Structure 1
Amino acid sequence: MMDIHQILKKLPHRYPFLLVDRVLELEPGKRIKALKNVTMNEPFFEGHFPHRPVMPGVLMLEAMAQAAALLAFEVVGSVPDEKSVYYFAGIDAARFKRPVEPGDQLIMDVTLERMKAGIFKFKGVCTVDGKMVCEAELMCTMRTVA
């Protein structure tokens, strides 16, 4: 398990783009289960949509990617320094099954499928109250920037 303080030491994301509040389970090299408490205070709800607030699907994908990054850091045994960035390399088979609204607790369950030549491939599923809301295959990589 990781609380928000441990997450902040590992992820470079900050408000309003940090989308992981807690790690519930972590099997190094295998899988991670994390959560995002979705509140009405999220800045994206102001415009998406004013009459019916719904969490954008791309942010659910981003939340899974942030959880995947925490898992990847456990695999490589370190957290990237300020010259490293963890990027999306691809997203496949993304499907959105139902809306995520204020008050929901988004659970991200991400499994490492494989790692080769610095490319990580993950399978992610998001649920709310045990019901699938989103799934996708994610490819991510770490790169050093100038």
Structure 2
Amino acid sequence: MMLRQFCAPLTAVDTVNTESESEVSASKAIRADDPYLAGHYPHFTIYPGIFIMESVGQAVRAHVARHRGAAYGAELVEVSRVRFTAPLVPGNTLELNARITPGEQGSDHLLVKAEAWREDGARCAAMTLTFRLEDRNA
């Protein structure tokens, strides 16, 4: 039995570009009718910072599937650094770029340095995350 790794119905990326071996980019339109935004925060709805991290995670998993094959997944195992610097509100578009390199823990880990911006160029977040590769067929 395969366990679901992600909460539904969170779609944290609308588009993903996985062409580069060492980089992934993605975007997400922040919409007021997304069900997970209700109440975060009352009278000033913002896209939660943890969802920016999930946007990076979904982009990394798409990158891994493209470059390693559909049998591979990526699980977040460490948050080394994260800084949120500007809010994302309904009507904004999150743009992110992540550089992916082998992790210090070995060939089954990926070090991801990501930055996220709004469409107006304001940086929203910067983070360093480590993912462990998983061979689902093993």
Mean CA deviation greater in 45-54 or 110-119: 110-119
Q: Which has the higher helix share?
A: 1
State the percentage of identical aligned residues: 21
Which of 9, 33, 47 matches 2:39? 47
- 1:63-122 deviation digits (Å, cap 9, x = unpaired): 01111111222332x013xxx653111111100001110001000101112253311111
Name the TM-score, length of structure 1 as normaliser.
0.78
Q: Which secondary structure state, in structure 1, belongs to the residue aligned with residue 132 of structure 2?
A: strand
- Residues in 2 aligned to 1:86 and 1:30: alpha-carbon distance in whole angstroms: 15
Alpha-carbon distance, 1:50 to partner: 2.1
- Residues in 2 aligned to 1:64 and 1:127: alpha-carbon distance in whole angstroms: 12
Alpha-carbon distance, 1:27 to partner: 3.5
1:67 matched to which residue of 2? 59
- Residues in 2 aligned to 1:14 and 1:89: alpha-carbon distance in whole angstroms: 17
1:100 matched to which residue of 2? 88
2:129 matched to which residue of 1? 138
Which stretches in structure 1 are left out of the alignment for 5+ residues?
A: 1-11
Which stretches in structure 2 are left out of the alignment for 5+ residues?
A: none
- 1:16 equivalent in alignment to 2:6: no
2:117 matched to which residue of 1? 127
Q: Alignment RMSD, CA only?
A: 2.3
Name the TM-score, length of structure 2 as normaliser.
0.82
